[in-house]
Structure 1
Amino acid sequence: MTASRKTKFEIANGRDRLAALELTIESLPLAVGLFWLDGRPVLLNRHFRELYDVGERWEADITFAKLIANGAFSDWKSDPAAFFERLVETLKRDGEFKARNEVGNRMLAVHDRLLGDDLILTMQKDITEQVHAEARITFLANHDTLTELPNRASLNAMLDNRIENARACHAKLGLLLVDVDRFKDINDVFGHAAGDAVLSEISRRFLACRGEDDIAARLGGDEFCFLSPSDNQPEAAEMLAHRLLEAAREPVLFEGRQLKVGLSIGISIFPQNGMDRGALLAAADAALYRAKAEGRGMVRMFEPEMDERIHDQRMLQHDLQRAIDCDELELYYQPQARITGEIYGFEALIRWRHPTRGLLSPNVFIPIAEECGLILEIGEWVLRTACRNAVTWAAPLQISVNLSPVQFRHDDLSTTVLQILMETGLSPERLELEITENVLVKDFARALQTLRSLKKLGVHIAMDDFGTGYSSLSYLQSFPFDTLKIDRSFISRLNTDHLTDAIVRAVIGLGRGLDVPIVAEGVETEEQRAFLAGEHCQNIQGFLIGRPQEIGDYADIVGIECKPQRSLRRSAKTG
């Protein structure tokens, strides 16, 4: 083969390779352009031509500078020729250039490289979806997904920043903690979709009524937080609180229903109520606790004595753990009687003999036990101790034991009751378990299943505090209670309030119609007993019959010698 013929073959082979390279570049899923150093294009693939609206046979005057003039960078638009000169200088110095460029409504990742001494290769990838995804991820990391308000992490950062600014400027800052009242009832009765609708609408109203500089955040659940940076404190925070109350006053429409909620609000002020985020939040939380305790729908400012309450609650929680370990819990028994006065059973009532505070009622420490999780251990001890004591009585009287809503929702309740009955030997017919309406509100279907499991054991089920909840009547349709107990708040007003008299008559009549025995609690006078007798109420309980006392004080009724109660620690070991 001659030299000239080799040269032609090599040239042809080179052209084939170039054509293959051009075809490959044309098919790449990114915009690719090849330019001379003076800006004239050598090759523009399909994606590049579409991106910059260039025809397949581009005009002779098309240059790199003119094309990038369509970009979003300000210096590209104002003087693209000068930018191109700087680009060439950068490429000669560094060999490459990277940036992000916005073309139309698309975001591009630009990577320019110098090839040899006379060519520029630019590769531009559409990263619009990636940028949007990154922005969404960043947003979700700092905002609540349902309401799109800043979340707790975002609030903490903003609060720290506002506190630093206020400290530097000797300014004030208001912090509001907001709870949505009755939100749990809406969630439980109408479902989570209704709860979400309420939170979304309430959040929209919050944003509409806040001040220009106020910050709103959702901390989780039904709890919100607001920052009021105005130096006019506490007036500005109080005004914002009342605007929020007003915003929540209108019902929220959901699937044709009007769902009503309210707000409880606690307020703390920087710097007088706290010098850092933790102190301010704790102070506002204490004020919120007071607002809810006083009936909800309230606004309360933090007051110094609230700190004492928080400290006192924490000390009681610590002491309660010691009470379990040191056998300081006791059971007292209050008799239950027929309307004629014949005692047929006792209700077991827990007491705490505190070493320094004396004898404490359950109203003082049971809420603490429920909050910190000790109620399961305490509740099991009460049930075991009451059953163990009752089985020793010569008289086969009924024993009633209260169940906490927390205890009732525990998966093993039926198993625990069965185990205790078998362990103590108490006949199931002698055991009555008292529940309140709160047991049924959170998860009615699950609660109903547990109630039926308990009934299969042969124990009796009583609804305590009947008439104080809004759904008491509806629950009677779903479950055959063995006893209804009229709350003491009604009995205390008998013969003094005609409306209360009518309510008590109606409840007694309802029990008679359903063939469910009624127990009137809190009967203290002969006049109250006479009223109940006249209405044919079957059973009573209260100071008129007997006060809660150690079972030894009723030894003649139950037929035992006075014996010490079993301790929690010992009964846990034997159980």
Structure 2
Amino acid sequence: MKIALVAQPDNAGDDFDGDRQIDIIALGIVTAAILLFIATGSEVGPDVVKSLLGHGPGPDNFILNAFLLNVAIIIFGWSRYRQLCEEIQLRKKAERQARRLAETDPLTGFLNRRSFNDAVDTMVRQAALTGDRAVTLIMIDLDNFKQVNDFNGHNTGDRLLQECAKRITGCLPSQALVSRIGGDEFAVAVEFDRNRADRIDGIAASLVEAIAQSATINAISIEVTASIGLARSDSLARGGTLPDARTLLEMADIAMYHSKRQGRNSYFWFEAPMADEMRFRNELEYGIRKGVARGEFVPFYEQQIDLQTGELTGFEMLARWDSPQFGIVSPDIFIPIAEEIGVIAELSESVIAQALEDAKAWDQKLTLAVNISPIQLRDPWFAQKLLKILLEANFPPHRLEIEITESCLHQNLAQVRSLITSLKNQGITISLDDFGTGYSSLAQLRSLPFDRIKIDRSFVSSIAENKDSAAIVHAIAMLGKGMDLPITAEGIETGDVLEHLLKYDKIKGQGYLYGRPRPAAELAEWLGTIGIVANGDVAQEVFSIAQQVPRTSVG
């Protein structure tokens, strides 16, 4: 992999000088012993030769002992010198290893955050000195990486990170700095010509494309995408002061989150309004966390009508955030944020518990439908948690309908099947929500024991003027009839849409044609006004009201 390492610590030269001094001392001792060996050997050698030839008494014992001692010193000194050299090499290797571990990420080999920041600061200063060059910092975050770990294990997740690291490296010039700064977050710093910023756009586009390619890991095909944010050093310089790595990271991080909110699998350059958007997002996150604890999330109810008879059959519960700061907030705004910050389960369970208490006061014929977040379906204990809420509310399970979005079927089919079976065994009805938008196969639909199909509002609301939408609604209605699955159509807003749907049997509907979702107090008052309370007669009252609704859009 191509990585840039930062400079050695300041004390690296001191260590080297110390090692060299040890080498010189040890070698000096051996050299001195060799010189003494030569000196004593020149005295002992001739006498030994004469003694062996029988021409003399032999060398002096003192000189001979000194000579033998020098031999021992040479052997010992050389051995010790070699040991010292080996010890020094081992210590240097350990120091290099420790330095590498301190500066890089062990999984990918990329720089870690600390060493990356130091290297980026140096790169920014050097680029500024040239006058015509700048540094771009690129923040890369893998989308939905947590699901890979949850469904396939951390070993698969680690191998996916390594594969993505290779793909990232392959898209970058050799002088680029690359860092893994978090679990599934990478940062890249690239120096570029200020007049050729289009080259950075090319790099960002190639990163998006490369990471989005399917990966096969442990015989599992995994789809992953990336959200990317970019910030450039020259656009952030103020009054001659250069931005540091931390500032660039923050700006690129803001742009990256903007990319996520825009649908992911794309890249965006940092712009000043994004910072305001991020501050607002942080306010929402803080408000949501506090709001869950304070009970600010409340149920609203939308009518569900038997289209053939006009009879009110039940209500779908829709969560709303009654915020003291922002007012009534739509779920389209707060649910994605609640899912990302990990409070969706607590939020949903709280609102469901309130809805069950409200629904106990309704006529026993009326059902309550609630939506379940895909995040909750990943919890293997969700069925038990839901049944506990039912038990605490003393609510009959057959009056509860759980709606599961079609997109959930692609995430963990085995777990969804287990969940559906567990809930159905308790008498709870299960609906497949937003049908037609998630590309589920007929095999999946047949293998899962759903009780109802809900047609997505995007098709229903345009059925009168769009032939394609009309054809899709007709096909789903015929599919439901063939599989003996009742149909519910969402998004009925005009009389023309209602007329198109009346030709189908066994179909329920909901939408603004029958009124907007009501909070609990307003709904209770309305039900009391038309005489629909516990064990009341529903059909005729609602049928007469439905007939009086003008067949025009209610907006």
TM over 0.5: yes
Query: Is residue 2:110 matched to residue 1:149?
Result: yes
Unaligned runs of at least 5 residues, structure 2: 1-28, 38-44, 46-70, 238-242, 536-555
Query: Is residue 2:177 matched to residue 1:215?
Result: yes
Q: Deviations over 1:507-529 (max 9, x none)?
A: 22222222222211111122222
State the match for 2:228 in structure 1: 265
State the match for 1:158 in structure 2: 119
- Which residue among 544, 547, 563 is the counterpart of 2:516? 547
Secondary structure, aligned partner of 1:544: helix
Query: Is residue 2:473 matched to residue 1:511?
Result: no
State the match for 2:207 in structure 1: 244
Kindly provide the amino acid, as one letter, of the partner of residue 291 in structure 1: S
Aligned residues of 2:30 and 2:74 also touching (Cα < 8 A): no
State the match for 1:287 in structure 2: 255
Task: Give the stretch that moved more between structures: 258-267 or 548-557.
Answer: 258-267
Report 1:40-439 matches (<5 A).
Answer: 120=77, 122-123=79-80, 124=82, 139=100, 142-144=103-105, 147-163=108-124, 165=126, 172-180=134-142, 200-220=162-182, 222-232=184-194, 234-245=197-208, 247-248=210-211, 262-273=225-236, 275-340=243-308, 341-439=310-408
Q: 1:189 to 1:317 in 2, by over 3 A?
A: closer
Secondary structure, aligned partner of 1:120: helix
Aligned residues of 1:287 and 1:303 also touching (Cα < 8 A): yes
Task: Give the stretch that moved more between structures: 400-409 or 214-223.
Answer: 214-223
Kindly provide the amino acid, as one letter, of the partner of residue 312 in structure 2: I
Give % identity: 34
Task: Give the stretch that moved more between structures: 128-137 or 287-296.
Answer: 128-137
Q: 1:256 to 1:439 in 2, by over 3 A?
A: closer
Query: Is residue 2:1 matched to residue 1:39?
Result: no
- Please give the TM-score of this superposition, normalised by the length of structure 1: 0.68
Secondary structure, aligned partner of 2:229: strand
Cα distance in 2 for partners of 1:407, 1:418 equals 14
State the match for 2:435 in structure 1: 466
Unaligned runs of at least 5 residues, structure 1: 1-33, 43-59, 61-113, 562-575
Alpha-carbon distance, 1:138 to partner: 5.3
> More strand by proportion, 1 or 2?
1
Cα distance in 2 for partners of 1:458, 1:263 equals 41
- Please give the TM-score of this superposition, normalised by the length of structure 2: 0.71
Q: 1:354 to 1:219 in 2, by over 3 A?
A: same
Secondary structure, aligned partner of 1:229: strand
Alpha-carbon distance, 1:447 to partner: 3.6
Aligned residues of 2:34 and 2:74 also touching (Cα < 8 A): no
Aligned residues of 1:487 and 1:521 also touching (Cα < 8 A): yes
Cα distance in 1 for partners of 2:318, 2:223 equals 36
Aligned residues of 1:464 and 1:484 also touching (Cα < 8 A): yes
Secondary structure, aligned partner of 1:216: strand
Secondary structure, aligned partner of 2:304: strand
- Which residue among 478, 483, 496 is the counterpart of 1:527? 496
Cα distance in 2 for partners of 1:189, 1:407 equals 14
Task: Give the stretch that moved more between structures: 474-483 or 327-336.
Answer: 474-483
Aligned residues of 1:115 and 1:121 also touching (Cα < 8 A): no
RMSD of aligned alpha carbons:
3.9
Secondary structure, aligned partner of 2:79: strand
Q: 1:435 to 1:139 in 2, by over 3 A?
A: farther
Secondary structure, aligned partner of 1:337: strand
Cα distance in 2 for partners of 1:282, 1:448 equals 42
Aligned residues of 2:302 and 2:318 also touching (Cα < 8 A): yes
Aligned residues of 1:175 and 1:225 also touching (Cα < 8 A): yes
Aligned residues of 1:440 and 1:447 also touching (Cα < 8 A): yes
Q: 1:258 to 1:399 in 2, by over 3 A?
A: closer
Q: 1:397 to 1:249 in 2, by over 3 A?
A: closer
Task: Give the stretch that moved more between structures: 355-364 or 185-194.
Answer: 185-194
Kindly provide the amino acid, as one letter, of the partner of residue 248 in structure 2: L
Secondary structure, aligned partner of 1:401: strand
Q: Deviations over 1:75-102 (max 9, x none)?
A: xxxxxxxxxxxxxxxxxxxxxxxxxxxx
Cα distance in 2 for partners of 1:249, 1:407 equals 26
**How many corresponding residue pairs?**
458
Aligned residues of 1:400 and 1:433 also touching (Cα < 8 A): yes
Alpha-carbon distance, 1:131 to partner: 7.3
Q: 1:199 to 1:416 in 2, by over 3 A?
A: closer
